[in-house]
Amino acid sequence: MIELDGLVRRYGEREALSDVSLSLAAGQTLVVFGPNGAGKTTLLRVLSTLLRPHSGEVTVLDRRLPQDAWAVRGRVGLLGHEPLLYRELSARENLRFHARLHGVGEERVEELLAAVRMRDRAQEPLRALSRGMVQRVAIARAVLHDPELLLLDEPRANLDPAASELVEPLIGAASSRTRVISSHDPGGGLSEADLVLGLRAGRPALLREAGDVDPEEIAELYR
């Protein structure tokens, strides 16, 4: 599903990701830990095809990047720090726009608005909604096209416990999708992970099966 071999990504002279290698099978969950600026978001953006790898080999959904990026787009759902939604449009208008871009029927929009309990507020512009509500709409947007691979950057940020439970069938283990999640929560992250990657200054400092990882090792990444 995902194969990385010596992935390097730079911003100017600075290496944001350096020599990252790993393998993730279909249906598994990779959780990426690391302090701010460690390269977690960059890794998700490379996997989503938004950023090109500068060296190394990257295979996502059995396709090489960046050559076959066109074949990966539309099969990946990205939930980043930004909701990728227009503030002046309502939740329904935003989701309908994305549905058209992905060739998805409008009934799916209504289904997801109901799933994230946003039907009552679906007509209001996003700028009038709370951050938690916008995050719920963003989650609906990320899974709108039923992607095989979910790339989630701190997906439960801004969500209260009830909302977090609400989106579990969409982005949690119950969704039965392959997932790459960036997290700052060692307890919560470990419970979801099959594989754990710890990044420090763009370099892998920890790569192990989740069962073999001590939460203290994750805490160590942030010191």
Partner 1 sequence: MSAKTKTISGKEGQVGTTQAIRALLRKELLVELRTLESVPGMSLFAVTTFVVFHFALNQNSVSGDEAAGILWVTLLFAAMLGVNRLFVADEDQGGFDAFLLAPVDRSAMLLAKALALLAYLLVLELVAVPAFGLLLLGPSLGQALPELLVVLVLADLGVAVIGTLVAALAVRTRARDLLGPLLALPLLVPVVIAGARATSPLLGLTHAEHPPARWLLTLGLYDLVFGLIAYAVFDFLLED
Contact residues: partner 1, CB under 8 A: 48-52, 70-71, 73-76, 78, 80, 82-89, 93, 97-98, 100-105, 107-108, 125, 141, 144-146
Least distance from C-beta 217 to partner 1, angstroms?
A: 33
Nearer to partner 1, 138 or 213 (CB): 138
Give the separation between CA 52 and CA 31, rounded to whole angstroms: 21
Nearer to partner 1, 97 or 222 (CB): 97
3 state SS of 181: strand
CA of residue 174 relative to chain centroid, distance? 16
Return left, alpha or beta for 118; rule: phi > 0 is left, psi -120 to 50 is alpha, else beta.
alpha
Closest CA to 34 of 157, 197, 158, 187: 197
Least distance from C-beta 88 to partner 1, angstroms?
A: 4
Nearer to partner 1, 98 or 189 (CB): 98
3 state SS of 191: helix
Least distance from C-beta 142 to partner 1, angstroms?
A: 9
- Whether 197 and 206 have beta carbons less than 8 Å apart is answered as yes
Nearer to partner 1, 82 or 120 (CB): 82
Nearer to partner 1, 30 or 109 (CB): 109
End-to-end CA distance of the chain: 32
Least distance from C-beta 192 to partner 1, angstroms?
A: 23
Least distance from C-beta 72 to partner 1, angstroms?
A: 9
